[in-house]
Structure 1
Amino acid sequence: MSVTSVNPATTSTNEYYLTRQSQMESNVRSYPRKLPLAIAEALGCWVTDVEGTKYLDCLAGAGTLALGHNHPAVIKSIQDTLTSGLPLHTLDLTTPLKDAFTESLLSHLPGGKEAYCLQFCGPSGADATEAAVKLAKTYTGRSTVISFSGGYHGMTHGSLAMTGNLSAKNAVNNLMPGVQFMPYPHEYRCPLGLGGEAGVDALTYFFENFIEDVESGVTKPAAVILEAIQGEGGVVTAPVKWLQKIREVTAKHDIVLILDEVQAGFARSGKMFAFEHAGIEPDVIVMSKAVGGGLPLAVLGIKRKFDAWQPAGHTGTFRGNQMAMGTGLAVLDTIKTQNLAQNAQERGDFLQAELKKLAQEFPCIGNVRGRGLMIGVEIVDERLTADHMGSFPGDGALAAAIQTACFNNQLLLEKGGRNGTVIRLLCPLIISHDECVEVIARFKKSVAQAIESVRG
């Protein structure tokens, strides 16, 4: 495609920048297709485009911006780092800032620095999942991994192999071998067709039997990797007893348990980490997104027993991002001093309660679920026949129309789940009660408009 000039005098300002973006960037871009705006400024839970329109942001950088946009503590951290004389890049050499960030992050892990050590990875969550699996294979000497349907662990070659969604995988041959997928409990769409506690009990038994059955046909894996709340998979929360059984069985058989907390971590679920709801301790914790305060950073928390690396056994140029460690430290301090885990829980409880009220008015809302400020709203076609568990078929066309209507009503949010049928809310942890009320008002208006446009 040849690049053509666009005249901002005859084109809307958003359109001007979006057209230029389409001319200069790859087809791989995705968010501008669903949220067609060019951002001029942002503060807290609000984003302003280049035309002056303000949007209420319930996407927050896919969960990266725990404190919202341009939080004063984050801005001050950047300014302090820039004027401190510190180098912005140090490989894995330490600095006083890195030391403070490391100590603070370890203090939030179960057992603290006595139980865990940190490994700084490349700048994305996918880089960290790659490192975690590589470490598990190094420690155990085994080569296979168990992952779960609906899970999302990144788009690199190895992390994509462990990701459930097929849309990106079908176009790429020869992904990392040795990944065995197992079913993940789902409160609305039980993969065993049982539903309720019976489905959870069966899946809990199935995992233990699968690992311990000498005729299962699958050799003992190096690692089990999972999300305690599946994000991209549609905000699916792992049942407590299922997680506890996985922890029990992996510990018994010396299988490395990797918890991917890239999206659910850092108080989003109402606790510092989503796995804490089950009272378990993973062997490896994958952290990114919010850990860098909006700047690129990825870190592993490794139980000391499993730190099997030799020096330089896994490296990465950008693992010494000092500014991200400064902003990350600001986020950790703010989460603690402002008790944002409690705010996430209270605001999330309110949003879920209000969304469930809307489900009474709009039967296309088939299920509302999640923890804290990680909420999923599954959109269904209630005009069709429900299955034997009472679940209606998903309605991806209506979900897409709801997202578009939300955008037109200045509410930014994302879709996910199977066939894009789940509306996802990832509000900043600082969101106020009044802003939550506004979220519900705009969402209600958007659902009504989308139903009218799609179904008439």
Structure 2
Amino acid sequence: MTLTAHTAGPTARTTGPVAGDGILRRQRLRESAARTYARSFPIVPVRANGMTVEGADGRRYLDCLSGAGTLALGHNHPVVLEAIRRTLDSGAPLHLLDLATAEKDDFTTALLESLPREFADQARVHFCGPAGTDAVEAALKLMQTATGRRGALAFTGAYHGMTAGALAVTGNVGIKSPLPGGGEVTRLPYPYAYRCPFGSGERGARLGVAYAERLLDDPLGGVLPPAAMILEVVQGEGGVVPAPDDWLREMRRITAERGIPLIVDEVQTGVGRTGAMWAVEHSGIVPDAMVLSKAIGGSLPLAVVVYRAQYDSWRPGAHTGTFRGNTLAMAAGAATLRFVAASGLAERAALLGARISERLRRLQGRLPVIGDVRGRGLMLGLELVDPSRAVDSCGAHPADPRLAVRVRAACLRRGLIVELGGRHGAVLRLLPPLTITDEQVEAVLDRLADAIEAAASADDDADGESA
């Protein structure tokens, strides 16, 4: 059996520029107005290998989106394909709700072996519906059950998903505004040195700690004891904003002293992305729960919550779902976790991330439209600004989302897939696979620099789907 882009008969017979145009046209007619990536990248991928994606028109692209961080090993990695083939050939059931299987047992073993020992030794794993947002829902519900409280502490710039509870703790008002109410959520300032909410740059992290602590202890502060605090070690959709390690340790202290469970959302930062297997390892904090998805499924849908056994107070069926027993994802995920660990890909991500950041800062020195370069490991961002406008209290020029859209389109024309995020959609996000080669690093940097220079000096409209 061969697993390739050609296994589906109609697709195999209709590749090429004309067929690709027809597929895009039908997508616009048939799919919902909520399309996102399809608008940014009007291409029809037909093959993919590693970091390379080939479109129906024969053009090839270097993929720095990686399924929004899902593809830790890139597209169709041999280790992943072998795990899938082996599982299919074994005759193992592909769907079994939450029954015990050898594949689930092996995945759970690989997962717990990869987690920080102090956390994993007393942990429980809950399999959720196959998306990070359901795992966030489960984590919040778990802590509400365990504490008997209802509220949550969340942060500005956060992104935790699209379902009701996850959306309530998300910071983006654009996607929250159509919904009635926002849940019992107290919003705290996330440390964002480039646009500090306190107008004081890096010192703002210390002020944020003091603000959170005093607010929680203020009998007139209006904040009831919450069921949990939820945070990201590096905010992804929020603009690739890494939290300082000292700030994270302070959040752990504040929550521990007040009996507030700490949930860390590692949906995008996990499996080596930030230069450690799990982003919490940089600061050494031990959370009460970790939300995991994306890369843990080896490119297939899978999501779990791992939490301290002391919180395991659910009754059977308290958080359930039909698609919790994705056998193929568990096999692919176990293979991915072990390969990342055995190959030292987290350590390589740290080295490459430092090298790329240095190059990007040199580029920033000659291109004033790059206001900030930040990130951790192979989770990097460039915030694009309008240098002709006055700076704010932190010395940052206003964000330039129109330039960012032009740069994204210019990158695509040069065979590079990058997506936007952050405040005002002005942050170019780089999420290459951990398997990116040195040659591909150079190609990405060359194409990115060329695209930024071209877009900054031109008034051309961005390519992309308009309807």
TM-score when normalising by structure 1: 0.96
Paired residues of 2:15 and 2:56 also in contact (CA < 8 A) = no
Structure 1 counterpart of 2:48: 42
1:110 aligns with 2:116: yes
Paired residues of 1:373 and 1:425 also in contact (CA < 8 A) = yes
Q: C-alpha displacement at 1:454, in angstroms?
A: 2.9
Structure 1 counterpart of 2:200: 194
Find 1:318's aligned residue among 323, 338, 343.
323
1:158 aligns with 2:169: no
1:70 aligns with 2:64: no
One-letter amino acid of the structure 2 residue matched with residue 119 of structure 1: H
Q: C-alpha displacement at 1:12, in angstroms?
A: 3.7
Q: C-alpha displacement at 1:10, in angstroms?
A: 12
One-letter amino acid of the structure 2 residue matched with residue 377 of structure 1: L
Structure 1 counterpart of 2:131: 124
Structure 2 counterpart of 1:5: none
Helix, strand or coil at the partner of 1:91: coil
One-letter amino acid of the structure 2 residue matched with residue 412 of structure 1: I
Helix, strand or coil at the partner of 2:194: coil
Paired residues of 2:16 and 2:57 also in contact (CA < 8 A) = no
Structure 1 counterpart of 2:294: 289
Q: C-alpha displacement at 1:174, in angstroms?
A: 3.5
Q: C-alpha displacement at 1:108, in angstroms?
A: 1.6
**For the residues of structure 2 that align with 1:132 and 1:388, how far apart are their CA atoms?**
37
Helix, strand or coil at the partner of 2:299: coil
One-letter amino acid of the structure 2 residue matched with residue 306 of structure 1: Y
Q: C-alpha displacement at 1:91, in angstroms?
A: 1.0
Find 2:179's aligned residue among 134, 153, 172.
172
One-letter amino acid of the structure 2 residue matched with residue 72 of structure 1: P
Paired residues of 2:16 and 2:56 also in contact (CA < 8 A) = no
Helix, strand or coil at the partner of 2:328: helix
- When structure 1 is superposed on structure 2, of 37-46 and 204-213 the one drifting more is 204-213
1:91 aligns with 2:97: yes
One-letter amino acid of the structure 1 residue matched with residue 414 of structure 2: N
- When structure 1 is superposed on structure 2, of 337-346 and 166-175 the one drifting more is 166-175
Structure 2 counterpart of 1:139: 146
Q: C-alpha displacement at 1:9, in angstroms?
A: 11
**For the residues of structure 2 that align with 1:426 and 1:454, how far apart are their CA atoms?**
27
Q: C-alpha displacement at 1:211, in angstroms?
A: 1.7
- Structure 2's unaligned 5+ residue stretches are 1-13, 462-467
Structure 2 counterpart of 1:4: none
Paired residues of 1:109 and 1:116 also in contact (CA < 8 A) = no
Which whole-Å deviations, capped at 9, do the CAs of 1:41-74 have from their partners, x for residues lacking one?
Answer: 0000100001111100000000000000000000
Structure 2 counterpart of 1:370: 375
Which whole-Å deviations, capped at 9, do the CAs of 1:159-195 have from their partners, x for residues lacking one?
Answer: 11111011111122244x2011111000200011111
Structure 2 counterpart of 1:100: 106
Tell me the percent identity.
46
Structure 2 counterpart of 1:184: 190
One-letter amino acid of the structure 2 residue matched with residue 212 of structure 1: D
**For the residues of structure 1 that align with 2:331 and 2:324, how far apart are their CA atoms?**
13
Which whole-Å deviations, capped at 9, do the CAs of 1:378-410 have from their partners, x for residues lacking one?
Answer: 000011111232111100000110001001101
Structure 1 counterpart of 2:156: 149
Structure 1 counterpart of 2:452: 447
TM-score when normalising by structure 2: 0.93
- Structure 1's unaligned 5+ residue stretches are 1-7
Question: Root-mean-square deviation (CA), in Å?
Answer: 1.5
Paired residues of 2:17 and 2:57 also in contact (CA < 8 A) = no
Q: C-alpha displacement at 1:455, in angstroms?
A: 8.8
**For the residues of structure 2 that align with 1:13 and 1:376, how far apart are their CA atoms?**
35
1:209 aligns with 2:214: yes
Structure 2 counterpart of 1:32: 38
Helix, strand or coil at the partner of 1:147: strand
1:345 aligns with 2:350: yes
Q: C-alpha displacement at 1:104, in angstroms?
A: 1.0
Q: C-alpha displacement at 1:233, in angstroms?
A: 0.2
**For the residues of structure 2 that align with 1:77 and 1:108, how far apart are their CA atoms?**
18
Structure 1 counterpart of 2:243: 238
Q: C-alpha displacement at 1:11, in angstroms?
A: 6.8
Paired residues of 1:229 and 1:235 also in contact (CA < 8 A) = yes
**Equivalence map 1:198-277=2 (5 Å):** 198-277=203-282
Q: C-alpha displacement at 1:239, in angstroms?
A: 1.1
Paired residues of 1:204 and 1:241 also in contact (CA < 8 A) = no
**For the residues of structure 2 that align with 1:269 and 1:11, how far apart are their CA atoms?**
38
Q: Would you say how many aligned residue pairs link Structure 1 and Structure 2?
A: 447
Q: C-alpha displacement at 1:312, in angstroms?
A: 1.7
One-letter amino acid of the structure 2 residue matched with residue 159 of structure 1: A
One-letter amino acid of the structure 2 residue matched with residue 15 of structure 1: D
Helix, strand or coil at the partner of 1:359: helix
Paired residues of 2:267 and 2:291 also in contact (CA < 8 A) = yes
Q: C-alpha displacement at 1:310, in angstroms?
A: 1.5
**For the residues of structure 1 that align with 2:36 and 2:411, how far apart are their CA atoms?**
17
Q: C-alpha displacement at 1:134, in angstroms?
A: 0.3
